[in-house]
Every structure is written in structure tokens, then in C-alpha cells.
Structure 1
Amino acid sequence: MRKELLFAFGAFFILSLQTIAGNFSEENHDEQTEINQLTVKSYSIDVTGDGKKDKINLNAIPYSPDALFLKEVWAEITTSNGSEMRIDYEGGYEPQIKFVDLNHDGIKDLLFSTATGGSGGLYYTALHTLSDNKLQDLGLPEGLTIQAQFQDNYKSVITFTDTSQSYTIDLSDRQEDYERLGIYTDGKLNEPMELMVLPTAFYEPVKIKGKTGKGLKGYQQISGAYKADSIGTAVSYWYYENNKWILIEIKWQEDSLQKHGR
């Protein structure tokens, strides 16, 4: 009987220690979160359309105390009438919010962007509106439909399906590199091979010719054998109309080895 009581008391004591340790761990985690949390930037601007300024804090938690990469990023909005909202974003480097009316309702929207830190200069971007104190994700253009293939004689053909634009690119200035990599043999393509079409790197607000207000300008890189082997950039122009993004124009900007000092 005595052994059973001692066992029960011991078990109770261990459970009590675990509970205390758990509570301490949670409190310590909360304190650590508060210590690590920082306000990247504060804004005071009307984003609800009532003519009064709202307060927007862009907050973040870094990956580590000395790290530039922010693992958590979010916006805390306190409107002029006292209501509070939160928008969670992806982590990254140097986050920022641009305030511009992109859905053309007379109220500034929140265009967020942050560098992902990966190769290709990619950014995470998000667009929201808080018109009439209602948070809504406006979304972004889905991107271009692009077909791009190597051709014989150190050439490539790039076609923008959305607009039926097609370009033949002379890649002879990369002949030595492509022969070394086994893509060509004496100008003959060894096997069918597509170019690398990267995702849209980022969007920026611009004035759209012939349209009222602003739209978005997107940049999408096309590379050859590897990402750094940039062939050119598809620059697209988009306008928000009837609750969706409409492609207005595509401009092709060709690169060359000389432009990259190669």
C-alpha cells in the first residue's frame, strides 16, 4: 500500500513539473515572439474610402536576430472607425506596400511586395482592397502563355500565345557555350529542347495608355541553358476591368551576351 502511494505521489509530482515546464515554455515563446517582432514601416493613409486616414503597420519576425530574411510578414490595419484587420503575407527581404488604386473604384489598394531571395530576382506580390471596411484579395494576373524552343543553327523561337506574337532569336554569340554543354553539335540541335520560362518576377503599377488610372507592368524572364543565361524579358501590361485582369500588350526585350559582359 505504501509503495502504491509513493508511486502515485511520484507520478503526480512529475506531471506537475511537466505542466509547469509547459506553461513556462509557452510564456517564454510568447515573450520571445514579442522581442523578435518588429515594425518594418508604418503608414497613415485612407484605404477604406471614408476620407479619413487609417493606420497600417507592416510587421515582421526575422528568421534570426541578425538575419535580413523575414520569416513572417503581416499588415495590421486599424481603420478610422476603430475596426482592426490583418493581412498575412509570405516572408522575404525588404517588404513594402504601395498604395495605388488598381481596381478603379477611387480608393487606394494595397500592393505588397517582398524579394524572395531566390535566383531570378523573383518577388512575392499580393494585392488587396479594404473598400467600405471589407478586406478583399483582388488577385494578380495569371501570367503569360509562352512557348519557347531551341532551333537548329543556334536559334530559338519564342511565341506569346495570348497575342500570337512570335520572335526568332539569334543565339550564335553563345555558340561555344552551347556546344560545350552538348545542346548543339556543329549547329545541329542534338535533341528537342525548350528554353527556360521563369515565373513573373514582379509587378509594378504604371499608367496604361488609353485607359483611365493605372494598371500593372509585369516582367517575365526567358533563359536558355540555365537561369543566368538570360535571353530576354517579356514585359506585359495589364488592366483591371470587370473584376478581372485583362492583358493589354506584350513587349519583348532581347538580351545578349554583350549586355551581361560575357
Structure 2
Amino acid sequence: MKLDTYDIRKVIHYYYAKIQETNHPYYWYCLAETQSRAGLTNEALQTIDNALSFPNPYPSKLELLDMQLNLQTVLSREMNLNRTVIVTSKQGDINGDGTKDNVFLTANKTPDSPFWRNITLVIQNGRTNQYEQVQMKNNAGYNPTLFLGDFTGNKGEGILVVIDTGGSGGSIYAYVFSYLNGRLLTIFNSDTFNETFKYDVNYENQYKVKLNSYYLKERYILDLTYKDKEYLSEIYNEEGVLKAPIEGWVNPLSGLYPVDYNRDGIYELEAYQRIAGRYNADSLGYVQTVLKWNGQAFVPDRQNVAIFGRGI
């Protein structure tokens, strides 16, 4: 039976009273068990230490030691869960003052998992040694990475943070930070990108897929003849006519890569979004959008669609 907080306090108080009255090993054990059930791990460990001091502890020394080991494991997990560590770090002149700054991503590690929580950007000013913490809306995921480079041409290096979401579509969270007019600003984030770049994907007769890119008002036609016969026969009849209407979709941002296309020392961003057909694993290709800083925001410089090839 699950006890509420009031009941637990009453039970713990009862066992304390019995211990003061009799100092019997049985009540020390009962107290430790109740504290453990209540999540009072440190208190339970102290109680077990007292219980083990008896010549004949209850229920046995072996069982108490096993209980102690389990609680120590729980305590270790709790400590690891709440301990902030540096996941990755870079050095670069972030604010353009000519001094190298230290840039970190810190987070809390999930025990027995590559999942990170509370991912935070931390910048240590190389001149003043002062720290600045930057919180991100999407601050949990896998494989958080840092890249430093000039995205705006303002002499200071910007900061690109990418985090894998772990979702089935291979999507990412991505942010770019840069000092502009003496302030660290978010100049790119994946949520805004995903909300801005909208598409629809529709299968058409004669082994084609039509993709409309609404933000850029462009249309792409994907040729499906590279797909194998089994795939096509599930969708089309022998005349190449659709057996039923099929809609696909474009996934959220799945890759964001800094590329200096103009070789001028200023990085553009190349964004990848995976095109899905009948289901997520039915990948039809990628929408590739090159984004360039225009002095106020990243804007699309060009957009392409890439499809997969087939062996010849």
C-alpha cells in the first residue's frame, strides 16, 4: 500500500519512538525500510549503519548489506543526475575584442544513457574571466556539439550549437549565437526555421512526386523511376497511374552545416530536411537550403532538392 507524506511521517515517528523505547534491531530495520520507501536515501543509509552495529542485526547482516548497496547505487545515480559537467568546449574570440574566450556546453548526464538534460551554453570572457550563461528553449537531447566561426562578418566568432533530438525523423535542435552591437543574440534557431519553411508533398501519376516549397514559392518534381519495381507496383498500376492518392511530408531540420561557399571567411548555413514518402523510413531525398546573413537575419540564398541514386 502506498503511503502519503503524512502517513510516512507518522510511521517514521512511530519507529523512532520504538527505538528510543527498546533500541531493538527490528525497529532500526523497519525505520530504514520506511525511509528508503519515502526516498530519504541518506537517512536510510545512516539508519542501516546503526542497524549494522548490533551483534545480531535484523533480519541479517547480509540482507542489510544488500539493502545498503542498493541504496548507495540509488544515491550515486541521484548525484550523477544532478551533477553538471562540461560536455564539450571550444576557444575563440566571441565578442571581437581580440582575446580568446572559452565556450562550453554544460549539461546533466542521464545515468546509463547518452541523453543529456539542461544543456546550457556558457561563455567565459577571456579578458575579464566573467561567465555568461545562455539558456536554450530546447535543452535536452543527444550528442550536443559546438562550432565557432564568423557568420556575420562582424569580426567576432559566432557559436553554432546542434543537438540531436533522438526522434525517428533524425531531427535536430540548432542555434546560432553572435555578438551584435555588444550583445549576444540568437540569430538562428531551428524552431523558427521549421515554422518558416513549409512544404507539401504529393505523389503524382507517371512515377513522380511534386514538392511545393511555400516560403520560396518554388516547385520541385521528383522522379521515382530509380525506385525498385516492388516499391512502384505498390503505388502505381501498370499504366503508371496512382492506385490511391498519397501525401508525403518534409521533416523538420535534420542537419545544419557551416560552409564558407564564397571563401571570404564568413560562413553560410546549409540546412537539410529529409523528404518522407508513405512513412518516415520511406526517404525520397532532402531539401537543401543555403542561408546567408544579410546584416539582420539569415535568409535563403538558394534551395535545391537532392534525391538518392541507384546502382548502374
Distance 2:132 2:286 in 1: 37
**CA-CA distance at 1:204 after TM superposition:** 0.9
Equivalences for residues 179-194 of structure 1 within 5 A: 179-180=233-234, 183-186=235-238, 187-194=240-247
AA in 2 matched with 1:203: L
Aligned positions, number? 241
Q: In structure 1, what is the equivalent of residue 132 of structure 2?
A: 85
- Distance (Å, rounded) in 1 between the aligned partners of 2:81 and 2:129: 23
CA gap of 1:216–1:112, structure 2 versus 1, over 3 A, is same
Determine which of 92, 98, 109 is the counterpart of 1:62.
Answer: 109
Say whether the 8 Å CA contact 2:90–2:148 is kept in structure 1: no
The range that moved more, 136-145 or 97-106, is: 136-145
Q: What residue ranges of structure 2 are gaps of 5+ in the alignment?
A: 1-9, 15-38, 44-74
Change (3 A) 1:159 1:169: farther
Tell me: CA distance 1:41–1:156, structure 2 relative to 1, closer, same or farther (3 Å).
Answer: closer
Q: Which structure is higher in RCO with an 8 Å CA cutoff and minimum separation 6?
A: 1
Is residue 255 of structure 2 the alignment partner of residue 208 of structure 1? Answer: no
Is residue 2:213 matched to residue 1:166?
Answer: no
Give the structure with the higher percent strand: 1
The CA deviation string for residues 4-43 of structure 1, in whole angstroms up to 9 with x for no partner, is xxxxxx9xx89xxxxxx99x89xx89x8268632211233
- 1:77 to partner: Cα distance: 1.8
More helix by share: 2
Shift of 1:122: 1.8
1:142 alignment partner AA: F
Q: Secondary structure at the match of 2:94?
A: coil
Aligned pair partner of 2:90 in 39, 43, 54: 43
Look up the SS of the partner of 2:227 in the other structure: helix
Question: Secondary structure at 1:237's aligned position in 2?
Answer: strand
Partner Cα separation in structure 1 for residue 100 and residue 226 of structure 2 = 57
Q: In 2, distance between residues paired with 1:102 and 1:169?
A: 35
Deviation (angstroms), 1:189? 2.2
* Mapped pair 1:236 → 2:279: no
Change (3 A) 1:99 1:40: same
1:36-64 Cα offsets, whole Å, 9 max, x none, are 32211233322112111222222111122
Percent identity between the two aligned chains: 21
| SS of match in other structure, 2:193 | coil
Q: Which amino acid aligns with 2:244?
A: E
Q: Which residue of 2 aligns with 1:225?
A: 278
Contact 2:202 2:210 in 1 (8 A): yes
The answer (yes or no) to whether the contact 1:107–1:131 under 8 Å persists in 2 is no
Shift of the 34–168 alpha-carbon distance from structure 1 to 2, 3 Å rule, reads closer
Checking the alignment, whether the CA contact within 8 Å between 1:69 and 1:92 is kept in structure 2 is yes
Structure 1 unaligned blocks of 5 or more: 1-9, 15-20
The question of whether the paired residues in 2 share the 8 Å contact of 1:50 and 1:132 is answered with: no
Instruction: Pick the structure with greater CA Rg.
Output: 2
TM-score under structure 2 length normalisation: 0.65
TM-score, normalised to structure 1's length?
0.76
Deviates more, 1:140-149 or 1:226-235: 140-149
Counterparts of 2:211 and 2:225 in 1: how far apart (Å)? 12
Contact 1:154 1:175 in 2 (8 A): no
Asked whether the 8 Å contact 1:120–1:201 carries over to 2, the reply is yes
Distance 1:212 1:53 in 2: 18
Alignment partner, residue 196 of structure 1: 249
1:148 aligns with 2:201: yes
Question: Residue type matched to 2:287 in 1?
Answer: A
